[in-house]
Amino acid sequence: MPVSAVPASVPTVELFPPLPPEIRSALEDVIPLIDKTFPIPGRFKQGLPGDVAELSRLLTSGRGDRGESYLGKPPLLSAYLRYFLPWNLYRLCRLLPSLDLHLAAGDAVTDLGAGPLTFPAALWISRPELRSLPLEFRCVDRTGAVLDAGKKFFAALTGEENPWTIKTIKADIRRDPEIRGNRAALVTAVNVFNELLGHIPHTATEALHREAGGYARLLTGLAADTGRILVIEPGVPRSGEFISAFRTSLADSGRPPLSPCPHTNGCPLPGGLHAKWCHFNFDTIDAPAALHKLSAAAGIPKERAVLSFLFAGSAGSGEFAEKVIDVKPVTPSPGLPVRIISDAFPVPPDRYGRYGCSGKGLILAAGNQQTVERLQSGALINLTIKGKERPDPKSGAIVAEVE
């Protein structure tokens, strides 16, 4: 018999819940704030969509054409601030409310590859309960111009009188940057490693895993023993493979995955050529209208946002429990925790399915179309195994009937 799932009527934990009205309103205000903080002459505004498209090319297919300090060029920095910064803020604001960051007064946050202070800004917008805490942010980036722009933007966003201290450090994280002070309660790296490792061929799995191990040691060394580590990357196969290797290295050092993994066993999605990878999709219907308009003008509309990420816990704590702050958790019940990691797709002859990750490996949650489509990418559900496990002949995943 296949695995049988809890009924779809049982509430599930959403990893990317819709934005609450106050966060959505704050994100709508971001683009006018950027325009006010970094004004550009009207004659240059017409070229903005083209600058956005060119920067997008340099970040994807044209990686070889950009220099290391490409954001030091005014047109590209302007495009980044008006397009990539708001989209990255949106992605983070959909995720951060669901993570137990475990921050307290006096804690430090080390943000590697900080860019225009995207992570501190997203944290300020999406976690208002943290705004009264005195926190220190050490923001590291190799481009001084983007850090300066970030400080200016963050001051405009928060006001000068706020309890968060921002320290910018111009340094290359590949060269073991010197960061003074106690080790951090939280170490973050957002959209960093896809850029640093873009030179590694897709077939060079060993090299990627070696780099992942080195960066895992770097981030672990910057984090307090009780600290946490958050890495977020684009939701592409290469990033998924890196995240899997990074997870393995952190686990070997005693830092268990807290999210999105519903287990501490080996990763069933190591990635590689033609393999499945851990990533999440969610719709962008609640993203700012002005951002959608600019995206369309640049020829890169975004109806869906995609990312891969890993949130790891404290060294030697033995903790493993996903804590969802703003969403009611799954009703406790025996069974196998499964994280949904794909969109719905047809399963011949007449069903639909979604892939999920579990301690038993890859799961294929299958059922009628309406029921399966209710299971959002990122949802955490419980499954109960009844009888003999049956693998899907195409993927090898354990088939789970979702009723």
Q: SS3 letters for the chain? A: CCEEECCCCCCCECCCCCCCHHHHHHHHHHHHHHHHHCCCCHHHHCCHHHHHHHHHHHHCCCHHHCCCCHHHCHHHHHHHHHHHHHHHHHHHHHHHHHCCCCCCCCCEEEEECCCCCHHHHHHHHHCHHHCCCCCEEEEEECCHHHHHHHHHHHHHHHCCCCCCEEEEEECCHHHCCCCCCCCEEEEEEECCHHHHCCCCCCCCHHHHHHHHHHHHHHHHHHEEEEEEEEEEEECCHHHHHHHHHHHHHHHHCCCCEEECCCCCCCCCCCCCCCCCCCCEEEECCCCCHHHHHHHHHCCCCCCEEEEEEEEECCCCCCCCCCCCCCCCCCCCCCCEEEEECCCCEEECCCEEEEEEEECCEEEEEEECHHHHHCCCCCCEEEEECCCCCCECCCCCCEEEECC
Q: How far apart are CA 266 and CA 268, in angstroms?
A: 6
Work out whether the CA dihedral 322, 323, 326, 331 comes out positive or negative.
Answer: positive
Q: Which residue has the tokens 């490996």?
A: 361
Q: Which residue has the tokens 């033995």?
A: 318
Q: Quick one: pLDDT at residue 178?
A: 87
Q: Quick one: pLDDT at residue 375?
A: 87
Are 209 and 193 a contacting pair, CB within 8 Å? no
Q: Quick one: pLDDT at residue 215?
A: 96
Q: Quick one: pLDDT at residue 318?
A: 44
Q: Quick one: pLDDT at residue 2?
A: 47
Q: Quick one: pLDDT at residue 177?
A: 86
The pair of structure tokens assigned to 240 is: 């998924």
Q: Quick one: pLDDT at residue 316?
A: 55
Q: Quick one: pLDDT at residue 223?
A: 96
Name residue 142's amino acid.
R
What are the 10-residue block averages of pLDDT along the chain, 403 residues in total?
41 79 97 94 82 88 69 84 95 95 96 96 97 97 93 94 94 89 96 88 90 96 95 93 95 92 90 76 94 94 93 66 36 71 91 92 90 89 76 88 77
Least Cα distance to 103 among 75, 78, 131 occurs for 131
Q: Quick one: pLDDT at residue 7?
A: 40
Count of beta carbons in the 10 Å neighbourhood of residue 327: 16
Q: Quick one: pLDDT at residue 325?
A: 33
What is the b/e burial string over 163-181, where b = at least 16 CB atoms within 10 angstroms of the residue's CB? ebebebbeeebeeebebee
Q: Quick one: pLDDT at residue 199?
A: 82
Q: Quick one: pLDDT at residue 319?
A: 43
Read off the pTM: 0.91
Which residues on adjacent β-strands are paired with residue 357? Answer: 339, 362
Q: Quick one: pLDDT at residue 76?
A: 86
Q: Quick one: pLDDT at residue 386?
A: 67
Q: Quick one: pLDDT at residue 92?
A: 97
